[in-house]
Structure 1
């Protein structure tokens, strides 16, 4: 907050289709719980895919100090993209099925508590990343998790149980593809099940792909998983949910700020869980301390 006695503008961007179903009237809750001596709220709704970045950018350019994503990881990604490079800060009211960035930052998953955090805001800057020009703030990945994001995008069902069912179904027919990973002057060539990039520690739902990741250290955590069978996949799943994947012999970790991946075959990839398509060449870059957010720093 500034020293001004006037409330500052806060724009809330709601995705009415985001995440799990809820009976909560979010606009009413915002009007009830938000401290209007601190913030003057504006509430807008997304009407289509990729509408949120436009709304966020417009709000920031109109002088909003705070632009709040109300939704899941996809909505957070879109709003954050719109806020990048502006003087506005990102706020999050988590209302999705995974809430990866909110969980990593320690933002309460209960909406009234998340609003209280906005009433007494603590501002800090986090690193941001991109994969082939697509911004991500939490995680990105090539291989099996990229495939899952493509299948999940077509699914009408949301939530953790639906996600797990898709993983089990797709695992039986998935084959690891060859790729060369260039990181810290090394070339690592293998058949990779997953090449995952963690700016934050988890995918969402407390599934930790990079449990050591620090979103403010200027480094990206790379997790390499080579071809695995059923027994290994079960071990990896347990590791994800217990933060123990870093201790598994099945996963190899590196840290860097830039990484390149080349594959002779097109591979699926995602950014913050959103399917981005297929490619044979990938460039992943990190920009340190490039996004201001409200979180309990």
Structure 2
């Protein structure tokens, strides 16, 4: 008799709209009991998912599942870097950037069926000032919005869009120096997005050509925006045609330094991290194993 694979699921009970009480029922009904058994633990505070993932990897769980949004996925993935343990994602947030990039269904029942297929591969991971990220990180306006969003009691796409519209006219670009590929670029910065995957989440593609397995960062520089350009840029993100417009410039690199006389706010996978005047962003090829649909 073949031994079953035991999965540790880490659930953020504050993510999404689905009651945590529904998760065990969904797992019991749709996770293949011929292949798997599982344990389910809940997070209690920021950073707890990383601790639980590290403990699970040390305990020998071959698969650890993140049940939550981008922040939960980031925390669990951080705990699995450079281990043999495979990450599974059951998306339960508002953006779900990594899940969407990998083609994982937003419906949890269907996402469980992907785990049943047990297909996985390695993907690249990145750090910004030694803080790991897996989809995107950034400085400038997107990080500024993330800092406000983090303290907002209402979550979700509607709140995010409202904040963007509310704060757009207040934000002022800052001067910075970008060093990459043995070149130095002094510029104003509205946004610099560092993309491992193609999108922020919600199918907003900031770097449509990003390949999560090519060993390269896609860097998107937006120097300045007026309202008209911002509308066109937003439409370009939603239609994957942002690179065809004139507002965004793209570079590929394995590492980038950004320095400024003033602090920039910065985010990693949409979660506000803090402020700094110097950023070092780099990529670590194929350093995380992830379950995903075949062909993705």
What TM-score, normalized to structure 2? Answer: 0.97
Q: Which of the numbers 93, 99, 107 marks the counterpart of 1:110?
A: 107
Offset from partner CA, 1:114-171 (integer Å, 9 cap, x none)? 1011111111000000000100000000010110110000011111111000011111
1:72 counterpart residue number: 69
Instruction: Tell me, yes or no, if the aligned pair for 1:6 and 1:37 is still in contact at 8 Å.
Output: no
2:191 counterpart residue number: 194
1:263 counterpart residue number: 260
Q: Which of the numbers 31, 40, 63 marks the counterpart of 2:37?
A: 40
Question: C-alpha displacement at 1:22, in angstroms?
Answer: 2.0
1:169 counterpart residue number: 166
Offset from partner CA, 1:48-79 (integer Å, 9 cap, x none)? 11000010111111110100000000000000
Distance (whole Å) between structure 2 residues aligned to residue 169 and residue 177 of structure 1: 19
1:149 counterpart residue number: 146
What TM-score, normalized to structure 1? Answer: 0.97
**SS of residue matched to 1:59:** helix
Distance (whole Å) between structure 1 residues aligned to residue 259 and residue 223 of structure 2: 15
Instruction: Tell me, yes or no, if the aligned pair for 1:144 and 1:193 is still in contact at 8 Å.
Output: yes
Distance (whole Å) between structure 2 residues aligned to residue 92 and residue 295 of structure 1: 8
**SS of residue matched to 1:93:** strand
Q: Which runs of 5+ in 1 are unaligned?
A: none
Distance (whole Å) between structure 2 residues aligned to residue 125 and residue 87 of structure 1: 10
Instruction: Tell me, yes or no, if the aligned pair for 1:9 and 1:63 is still in contact at 8 Å.
Output: no
2:224 counterpart residue number: 227
Bigger shift: residues 230-239 or 196-205: 230-239
Matched, 1:178 2:175: yes
Distance (whole Å) between structure 2 residues aligned to residue 244 and residue 185 of structure 1: 28
Instruction: Tell me, yes or no, if the aligned pair for 1:73 and 1:96 is still in contact at 8 Å.
Output: yes
**SS of residue matched to 1:175:** coil
Q: What's the C-alpha RMSD, in Å, of the aligned pairs?
A: 1.0
Distance (whole Å) between structure 2 residues aligned to residue 156 and residue 234 of structure 1: 27
* Matched length: 293
Q: Which of the numbers 277, 281, 285 marks the counterpart of 2:278?
A: 281
Matched, 1:62 2:59: yes
Q: Which of the numbers 61, 77, 82 marks the counterpart of 2:79?
A: 82
Q: Which runs of 5+ in 2 are unaligned?
A: none
Distance (whole Å) between structure 1 residues aligned to residue 145 and residue 241 of structure 2: 22
Offset from partner CA, 1:18-71 (integer Å, 9 cap, x none)? 1x3125701111122111221220100001110000101111111101000000
Distance (whole Å) between structure 1 residues aligned to residue 32 and residue 150 of structure 2: 37
Q: Which of the numbers 5, 8, 12 marks the counterpart of 2:5?
A: 8
Distance (whole Å) between structure 2 residues aligned to residue 218 and residue 97 of structure 1: 28
1:22 counterpart residue number: 18
1:159 counterpart residue number: 156
**SS of residue matched to 1:118:** helix
Offset from partner CA, 1:266-288 (integer Å, 9 cap, x none)? 00000001111000000001000
Q: Runs of 4 or more off by more than 6 Å in structure 1? A: none
